[in-house]
Amino acid sequence: MQLAARRGNFFAVIEVVSVVAFLIMTVTTWVTLNSQAKKGALLSSDVTATLLVGTLVPAMAILVLLGRRMALRRAAESIGGTGRMHVRLVFIFSLIAAIPTLLVVIFASWLFQSGVEFWFSDNSRGLLENANKLARGYYEQAQRDVGYETVAMAEDLGTFLSQEPITSPSFAEFYSYQVVNRKLTESAILQKGGDGQLRTAAIVDPEGNTTRRRVTSEEIDELDSGEDMVVSADANKIEAVIPIDRRAGVYLYAARSSDLLAFSQGQRAQNIVKAYEVLTSRARVLQLRFNVALFVASLALVGLSVWFALRFADRQVKPLYRLVDAARSVGAGNFALRVESRMGADEIGLLNRAFNRMTAQIEKQTQALVGANQQLEERRAFMEAVLESVTAGIISLNSDGNVLLMNSTAQKLLFDRSGPGPVGLSLDEISPQIAALVDAGLARGIVQYNKGGELLTLAVKVSEDRTGHVITFEDITR
């Protein structure tokens, strides 16, 4: 009773510790996420994995401990049930589900974070920005080239017009030469009239379109406000407008066919950079969603394991409880009792059939004994009658408590690091709790061992011989 009470108190403490640890890790995760959100930076893979595992472990422990309470409650509803098999199955199934899940969570979180850090690193961002600058720079250089050619042509035309009038036959030849030599596709000299409207004074256009509006009033306003040059571009052409004589309202328009591929590549590079910036802004949200999904999926897997363990334990234990009740009834004298549940080919069915054969044999032998007793009573009565008619009467330790041998499993449970075995050390130096159990002469017991801040529960068995002791223990931490 005292051991059971102590065990109950221990698990109550573990439950409180798990809840407190979960709350602390939840608050820590929240504070860390908020601090990183203000900085606008992603969490590193190490920090993310640490926070995820640190929150997941106590949450899993809470689920397992909740399953333990449910197992004990179900056992209490059964006559003679202790719940130990329920608890053990819950622990085993939870352990089988939790350990691989934790490993997968750590690997998946680290892999995801590494990918995020790679794609959203400064190098990746610089690569995209440089590609965008290169594509944009090529197109902007083409715009500047058209602008510079237009400025040079305006100076040449201004010089020519200062010597000869625009109606001179040589001007048309000179103007066409300027357009062709500067690799322009069309050009026009525009003059603002008294009504503010632009009129074409001269034009070089292979299509001969003299009515098309080439310059907008907004562009003229910019030039009149002091701008030296106005350059615009679209997918078809690059256009430039500069003043030849601001006072006289004479302007030069020049255009060159645009490289459609270069324009589209520049636009595409800009769109890619914008999409990358949007994805970067969503990276933290994606990071948070991924880790929350891992957390929920892991808890769901452990919870499913606990539920399956309880169902499996119910299926295995309830027939045993019925068998215990039947054995008590047989012990009370009901030899005609038979067990009717689970007569299949499994071990429970085999045990039930063996029990029924045993009770049938006991009943048969009891009936035979009753019959024999009746015969004996009849014979005694007969012998009395005859006599009335007759006158004459008829971890291997040596005797000093030092370690002789310790296997790898024991080393992993008792030490934080791997290395040479602690042969020759005293058990008191390694685990005072187990040493106290040995000194007390107990054959078995449950001890708690602190391994690097992690509290382990060990089931210890002690076997004694003439040369020392052999100690076995198992980790039954839940």
pLDDT at 386 (0 to 100): 47
pLDDT at 1 (0 to 100): 47
In DSSP terms, 446 is beta-bridged to 459
Q: Single out the residue of 352, 327, 333, 334 nearest to residue 342, CA to CA.
A: 352
Phi, psi of 413 (to 5 degrees): -75, -30
- Domain end among 394, 418, 443: 394
The string of pLDDT tens digits covering residues 350-362 is 777 787 788 878 8
pLDDT at 318 (0 to 100): 73
Regarding predicted confidence, which is higher, 411 or 240? 240
**Which two tokens mark 316?**
């295995």
pLDDT at 83 (0 to 100): 63
Regarding predicted confidence, which is higher, 381 or 56? 56
Same domain for 327 and 344: no
The string of pLDDT tens digits covering residues 52-84 is 788 888 888 888 888 878 877 776 666 555 667
Same domain for 79 and 169: no
pLDDT grade, residue 139 (50/70/90)? Answer: low
pLDDT grade, residue 158 (50/70/90)? Answer: confident
Measured distance between the N- and C-terminal CA atoms of the chain, rounded to whole angstroms: 21
The mean pLDDT of the chain is 75
Rounded Cα gap, residues 180 and 186, in angstroms: 9
- According to DSSP, the β-strands at 186-192 and 250-257 are antiparallel
Of the ranges 44-48, 98-102, 169-173, 261-265, which one carries the lowest mean pLDDT score?
261-265
User: By the 8 A CB rule, do 172 and 161 touch?
Assistant: no
Same domain for 110 and 175: no
- List Cα–Cα distances, 342 to 120, 318, 337, 339, 346, in angstroms: 61, 10, 16, 9, 8
User: By the 8 A CB rule, do 312 and 89 touch?
Assistant: yes
280 occurs within a structural domain: yes
Give start and end residues of each alpha helix (H) in 332-455.
Answer: 347-388, 408-414, 427-430, 432-439
399 occurs within a structural domain: no
pLDDT grade, residue 393 (50/70/90)? Answer: very low
61 occurs within a structural domain: yes
The string of pLDDT tens digits covering residues 166-214 is 778 788 888 888 888 888 888 888 888 777 677 777 888 877 666 667 7
Please compute the mean of the pLDDT values over residues 328-341 and round it to a whole number: 74
pLDDT at 22 (0 to 100): 87
159 occurs within a structural domain: yes
Same domain for 98 and 26: yes
Q: Single out the residue of 195, 173, 199 nearest to residue 253, CA to CA.
A: 199
The domain total for the chain is 4
Same domain for 174 and 88: no
Same domain for 283 and 253: no
297 occurs within a structural domain: yes
269 occurs within a structural domain: no
Same domain for 339 and 327: no
133 occurs within a structural domain: no
- Domain end among 243, 264, 285: 264
DSSP string, 301-350: HHHHHHHHHHHHHHHHHHHHHHHHHHHHHHHTT-TT----S--SSSHHHH
The SS3 assignment for 458 reads strand
Q: How many residues does the chain have?
A: 478
What is the rounded radius of gyration, in angstroms, for the C-alpha atoms of the chain?
48
Please compute the mean of the pLDDT values over residues 388-392 and round it to a whole number: 41
Please compute the mean of the pLDDT values over residues 436-459 and round it to a whole number: 82
Same domain for 258 and 284: no
Same domain for 149 and 45: no
Please compute the mean of the pLDDT values over residues 82-105 and round it to a whole number: 76
pLDDT at 67 (0 to 100): 80
Please compute the mean of the pLDDT values over residues 376-394 and round it to a whole number: 53
Same domain for 110 and 31: yes
* 417: alpha, beta or left? (left if phi > 0; alpha if psi -120 to 50): beta
**pLDDT winner (highest mean) among 7-21, 113-127, 204-218:** 7-21
Domain extent at residue 292? 2-123+275-331
pLDDT grade, residue 388 (50/70/90)? Answer: very low
pTM: 0.43
Q: What percent of the chain has pLDDT over 70?
A: 74
pLDDT at 107 (0 to 100): 79
The string of pLDDT tens digits covering residues 253-266 is 888 876 655 556 65
Q: Single out the residue of 215, 222, 265, 259 nearest to residue 240, CA to CA.
A: 215
Q: Single out the residue of 207, 79, 93 nearest to residue 478, CA to CA.
A: 93
185 occurs within a structural domain: yes
Angle at 360 between CA 356 and CA 365, to 5 degrees: 150
